[in-house]
Structure 1
Amino acid sequence: MGKYIILANLQDYKKILKDLKVKFKSAQIKASLKVNSELLQFYWYLGKKIIEVQNNYKWGSKFLENLSKDLSKAFPDVKGFSYRNLKFIRQWVNFWDNEKGKQLVSLLFQIPWGHNIVIIQKCKDINEAIFYVENTLKNGISRNVLIHQIESDLYHRQKKAVNNFDNTLPPLQSDLVKEITKDPYIFDFLTISEDYKEKELENALIENIKDILMELGSGFAFVGKQYKLEIENQEFRIDLLFYHLKLHSFVVIELKNGEFKPEYAGKLNFYVSAVDDILKSEIDNSTIGILICKLKNDLIVEYALRDINKPIGVSEYRLTTKLPDKLKDTIPSIEDIKQQIQRNINE
């Protein structure tokens, strides 16, 4: 067998290899109709077989290497049999082959393999993983967006805004609106001065409109900044106005670079009422208001929203995320940079 290890039972190995070849040929035929689903169903079968064999035979770590070489030789045009991918397949099955995961297996076959790998590598537990599988299917997000969502901890931020949606919207619409809100919003793609003003924050967001749309989530369409409303010969301006394509609702966003104050809710309620009267058509649902501030006290927000009759949510924002401790020592200090510059000059 050359570099191959001597297996304890060569006949059993040959039977397993033959079975996998037959199974994959069958999957290849069906793949012309349902490429991803059929392939991932085969990956599931393959992963279960790998785990079963490694549990029942004393073949050691070389088993995967041998299997990779033999399957790649039998199907040279297929890249999915690399040693690295076989390890991913085994990890994937191990992650989901439990009481909770088995209920979701059919959904796993409906999302791309690359998405599946990202989810099992980056999620801390199965509940978080289930959230991202369902969110991927619901919104059809790309792999890069999925990575962004996981790394920005969307799982723990979604639906967290303090709001009055239950009191101002029908139950089904209330649940849908909660899904589009987060707390906090992560604006770590912005580079603005330390003593920034609200106008500077607003302009920075617009300059990074693609990033802000990604952070807001699927379905948001940008309408305008400092959107002008004329009421009884007076001019009022909304910080940011969006339209949500799935909710069929305008979304008014007001930005505050300080702590939440009760009067902010009243002003946002005024804007939402005005948009309902001036912009909303018969086919649109209720306009939604979202106030995003630097700090808030949840109890104060709850009191401020209690008797307001328009749907409003209040969240905080973060300009930067905390640097992991293991990376802190790798970032040079200002003094280190100055010393390096001086050394370069001296040289």
Structure 2
Amino acid sequence: MSEKPVGLTDPPAGYADWLADLKGRIHSAQQRATLAVNRELVLLYWQIGRDILQRQAAQGWGAKVIERLALDLRAAFPEMKGFSPRNLKYMRAFAESWPDETFVQEVLAQLPWYHQLALLDKLPGPGTRKWYAAKAVEHNWSRNVLVMQIESRLLERTGAAVTNFPVTLPKPQSDLARESIKDPYRFDFLGLTGEAHEREVEHALVKHVTEFLLELGAGFAFVGRQVLLDVGGDEFFIDLLFYHLKLRCYVVIELKGGKFKPEHLGQLGFYLTAVDRQIKSEHDNPTIGLLLCKTKNKVVAEYALGDKSQPMGVAEYKLLESLPEELQTSLPSIEQIERELASGSSVSDGNEHVVAPEK
């Protein structure tokens, strides 16, 4: 046990609360200082890149000037990193890719430099870069999560599910609901192949709920697995139940291990009715249903949703392709992925609420 320093008495009443408040303010100040330093660094790099571009264009300076500039800057500022020829070329590419200084100041300056490099290296044009940059700022993604979202083609998957939201939900809720659902969902982080049964997939998703929530997207909170519904004395069980914090509604997710069939929506609609009558409060919006299946015929899904009055969507989920056992050993483990996401959340099979961390 540590001894109390000589001369110190017990703290007065209210001291502990004041100390906790001070710690929080100091932490916030540290964060603001870090963000301010990052903002100035990103703007400086953009300005250096712009100057290189302008001088090369106006005065005909060749690529050799970057080598010379790197040497001179490192000599002038030996304590600073970032003035290598390679990084100066990135600054030039950064300024060339983002000629609008206002956008750099208002959006990009909120992201660290290594985020900028990921946007430059992994995306082909300004349209997609702007979308991912805005999402990274909105959801506070780490660089690794940003790269993962780019490589999983999040932009192409967002809002691509077949839904009836435009005719079953009012605007702007219908637009937000559509943008909250993807197609397909990527569950390769589970380490399961296409032969896995739906109950195996369901169990693995709950076991690794942090990654599942990250794939679902910001706003989803986990409520429970195999949630019991007692309807007239008969028992029914919802595969997965979530609550969406932005949509202010429950989201029922049903997993089907095969191809989509129209009759699946009948069961989903029954669950939506039960949740609306038994769980939803008067302040919640109507419950949304999402049917996840291994494959679907898009036209069949559109027809099946055509006469449904409840908000529903149909999307596919993708597991790992079947691989020879010797190749599967080279895949990253769940533990490696979880360390990368650095979450630490855990759930049981009960009705717990777990909200996805925005990395």
TM-score (norm 2): 0.76
Counterpart CA distance in 2 for 1:241 and 1:332 is 34
In structure 1, the residue matched to 2:246 is 246
Higher RCO (C-alpha 8 Å, min separation 6): 2
Aligned length: 295
1:62 Cα deviation (Å)? 2.9
Residues 97-132 of structure 1, C-alpha deviations (whole Å, 9 max, x = no match): 3xxx66733322222222221111111222211210
Amino acid in the other structure paired with 1:247: L
Counterpart CA distance in 2 for 1:192 and 1:145 is 21
Percent identity, aligned pairs only, is 48
Matched, 1:120 2:120: yes
Which stretches of structure 1, 4 residues or more, deviate above 6 A after TM superposition? 331-334
| Consecutive unaligned residues in structure 2, runs of 5 or more | 1-32, 328-359
CA-based RMSD of the aligned residues comes to 2.5
Match runs of 1:34-113 below 5 Å? 34-97=36-99, 104-105=103-104, 106-113=106-113
Q: 1:186, 1:321 within 8 Å by CA — same for their partners in 2?
A: no
Q: 1:68, 1:83 within 8 Å by CA — same for their partners in 2?
A: yes
Counterpart CA distance in 1 for 2:101 and 2:295 is 41
Counterpart CA distance in 1 for 2:35 and 2:138 is 22
In structure 2, the residue matched to 1:261 is 261
Residues 128-162 of structure 1, C-alpha deviations (whole Å, 9 max, x = no match): 11210121222222222111110000011100000
In structure 1, the residue matched to 2:288 is 288
Amino acid in the other structure paired with 1:251: V
In structure 2, the residue matched to 1:185 is 185
Counterpart CA distance in 2 for 1:102 and 1:314 is 41
Amino acid in the other structure paired with 1:104: F
Q: 2:241, 2:250 within 8 Å by CA — same for their partners in 1?
A: yes
Counterpart CA distance in 1 for 2:34 and 2:253 is 46
Match runs of 1:304-343 below 5 Å? 304-320=304-320
Match runs of 1:126-137 below 5 Å? 126-137=126-137
In structure 1, the residue matched to 2:223 is 223
Counterpart CA distance in 2 for 1:159 and 1:186 is 14
Amino acid in the other structure paired with 2:260: F
Residues 183-237 of structure 1, C-alpha deviations (whole Å, 9 max, x = no match): 1111111233553221111112222222211111112221111111111111111
1:58 Cα deviation (Å)? 4.9
Deviates more, 1:221-230 or 1:71-80: 71-80
Decide whether aligned partners of structure 1 residues 314 and 80 sit closer, same or farther in structure 2, where only a CA change above 3 A counts. Answer: same
1:267 Cα deviation (Å)? 1.0
1:42 Cα deviation (Å)? 2.0
Counterpart CA distance in 1 for 2:149 and 2:234 is 41
Counterpart CA distance in 2 for 1:140 and 1:285 is 27
| Consecutive unaligned residues in structure 1, runs of 5 or more | 1-30, 324-330, 335-347
Counterpart CA distance in 2 for 1:62 and 1:139 is 40
Q: 1:238, 1:252 within 8 Å by CA — same for their partners in 2?
A: yes
Amino acid in the other structure paired with 2:279: L
Residues 267-312 of structure 1, C-alpha deviations (whole Å, 9 max, x = no match): 1111112112221123322221111101111121112112212111
In structure 2, the residue matched to 1:11 is none
Decide whether aligned partners of structure 1 residues 44 and 321 sit closer, same or farther in structure 2, where only a CA change above 3 A counts. Answer: farther
Counterpart CA distance in 2 for 1:286 and 1:333 is 48
In structure 2, the residue matched to 1:172 is 172
1:39 Cα deviation (Å)? 2.4
TM-score (norm 1): 0.78
Q: 2:198, 2:256 within 8 Å by CA — same for their partners in 1?
A: yes
Counterpart CA distance in 2 for 1:103 and 1:287 is 40
In structure 2, the residue matched to 1:143 is 143
Q: SS at the partner of 2:147?
A: helix
Amino acid in the other structure paired with 2:135: N
Q: 2:119, 2:129 within 8 Å by CA — same for their partners in 1?
A: yes
Q: 1:145, 1:214 within 8 Å by CA — same for their partners in 2?
A: no
Counterpart CA distance in 2 for 1:282 and 1:72 is 64
In structure 2, the residue matched to 1:233 is 233
Counterpart CA distance in 1 for 2:169 and 2:312 is 10
User: Highest Rg: 1 or 2?
Assistant: 1
